[in-house]
Amino acid sequence: MKSLIQRDAAVVWHPFTQHQTAGLPLSIQSGKGAYLYGESGERYLDMISSWWVNIHGHGCPELADAISEQARRLDHVHFAGVTHEPAVSLAEELLELSDFSGRGRVFYSDNGSTAVEVALKICNQFWSNRGERRENLLSFGGGYHGDTVGAMSAGAKSGFFEAFRSWFFKSECVDVPHTWWGHSAEEEEERSLDSFAEVLRKRSSDFCAFIAEPLVQGASGMRFHRPEFLRRVCEMVRGAGIPVIFDEVMTGFYRTGTPFAFNQSGFVPDLLCLSKGLTGGILPLGVTIAAQSLFDAFLGETFSSALAHGHSFTGNPISCAAALASLRLLQSTGARQRVERISEMLSGGLTTLLESSHRIEKARVLGGIAAFEIKSASGDYSAAAGRPLARYAQEHGVILRPLGNVVYFMPPYCVSDADVHLAFEVVQTYLGQKGQ
């Protein structure tokens, strides 16, 4: 009988994987809390929340119960001209949590990429409905917003999409200065702000929207920027009459220490994109929250002004029920306090790591996200510096997935002090053995 790995090799195409050179995939049978379990019971500490989604950990009974109960009551119904309790309740709670209550609308989709795609289409058609033609996007250089065509266009300089460049929509990127411990980037910020001002002075009427990952650019390497810089950029953009989109697919739901990263900037966007931790990471669901003023621009006597966008699983009741249960868990388990504790542990572990290895640089922590870089000649996603560490960590019971030479920790909120200590101990041992 063929093993699961052998069967996988014959039929599955994995994401972000070069199958000719990649090793065998890890076979996982179950999960509980911060750990995943293999075929023979071996356990692995999930220090990346399974691609940043499982904020409560694995096998959460509250989420499983909510899914089971909703599936028995109403599993699915189309959402065009139909509504149901989970979708309405979730929209109400998200608007309240995000400071859009009484002045926003929730559009449901399936994942982070589609949540961004919806936001971009809203902005494009917003101007069209007003009789203007605006086809350009403005964004931070290096941003990553997903893999659908519009989202790729917004992340044109992320380094992932060169094969599709001929398909991109028109976009313009301005560099964002990165910060880390000991480097505030204030001088670079002033130069970047000057660049934004120049672009807006010359071409503000070209842009239908500005999009950014607030405070942390995720897939491009967990790159941080300061809240003050973000606020100044967004005030400048809004002052030019351009809608601001915040992609909080990764940073939402206390990941950075506050309900949303934008809370730390003092600037509320015109559109907010959410997914990943929205359902606690156990079912696909995307949300685009839009300001009421944008929604109002789509009202009219004919369908031509309506938003002609939707998905078969838009507003799926089971996914919405999972998201409602997740929001309640965030409150009942004290997510903010948990993330504060995790942040302290990550900071302590990084400090020790910096003291023990001369090959570590650019350490940074924000909420439940920690990152550092292994000094390397190449810093892009394909850089090999992080791969041997990931293999070593997996062999010693810790799951990491470095971004090139950037190693990051983003554990579920249920992670213990001992778990975080184990992760840093494995990394420190590896670096010591490799003379790094």
Cα–Cα distance, 407 to 354 (Å, whole number): 13
| Whole-number pLDDT of residue 11 | 96
Across 33-48, average pLDDT? 96
Length of the chain: 436
H or E segment to which residue 224 belongs: strand 223-224
Neighbours of 170 (CB within 10 A): 13
Across 382-390, average pLDDT? 80
Average pLDDT, the chain: 94
Q: Which residue has the higher pLDDT, 187 or 169?
A: 187
295 within 8 A of 103, measured Cβ to Cβ: no
Among 168-172, 357-361, 372-376, the minimum mean pLDDT is found in 168-172
Would you state the torsion angle of the CA atoms of residues 92, 95, 97, 103, taken in this order, to the nearest 10 degrees?
-130
| Whole-number pLDDT of residue 380 | 55
CA angle at residue 369 from 368 to 371, to 5 degrees?
150
Across 90-100, average pLDDT? 97
Cα–Cα distance, 60 to 11 (Å, whole number): 30
332 phi-psi bin (left φ>0, alpha ψ -120 to 50, beta other): alpha
118 within 8 A of 107, measured Cβ to Cβ: yes
* Longest CA–CA separation in the chain, Å: 70
| Whole-number pLDDT of residue 146 | 86
Cα–Cα distance, 37 to 392 (Å, whole number): 17
Residue 377 has pLDDT above 60, yes or no: no
Q: Which residue has the higher pLDDT, 278 or 158?
A: 278
Sign of CA dihedral 8, 13, 17, 21: positive
Name the residue with tokens 């694995």.
Answer: 58
Cα–Cα distance, 264 to 248 (Å, whole number): 13
Q: What is the tens place of the pLDDT at every residue in 306-323?
A: 999 999 999 999 999 999
Residue 350 has pLDDT above 50, yes or no: yes
State the fold for domain 4-56+334-433.
Aspartate Aminotransferase, domain 1 (3.90.1150)
For the residues of 374-421, what is the DSSP string, one character each? E--S--STT-STHHHHHHHHHHTTEE---BTTEEEE---TT--HHHHH
Across 120-144, average pLDDT? 94
Across 289-318, average pLDDT? 96
Across 116-139, average pLDDT? 95
- Radius of gyration in angstroms for the set of CA atoms belonging to the chain, rounded to a whole number: 22
Across 179-192, average pLDDT? 95
pTM of structure: 0.95
Expressed in angstroms, the distance from the first to the final Cα of the chain is 43
Cα–Cα distance, 402 to 427 (Å, whole number): 12
177 within 8 A of 185, measured Cβ to Cβ: yes
418 within 8 A of 393, measured Cβ to Cβ: no
55 within 8 A of 253, measured Cβ to Cβ: yes
Burial category of 210 from C-beta neighbours within 10 Å (exposed 0-12, middle 13-18, buried 19 and up): buried
Q: What is the DSSP letter of 110?
A: S
Among 61-65, 247-251, 356-360, the minimum mean pLDDT is found in 356-360
Domain 64-331 = CATH 3.40.640.10 = yes
Phi/psi at 423 (5° precision): -60, -45
Residue 378 has pLDDT above 60, yes or no: no
Across 84-89, average pLDDT? 98
422 within 8 A of 47, measured Cβ to Cβ: no
| Whole-number pLDDT of residue 436 | 47
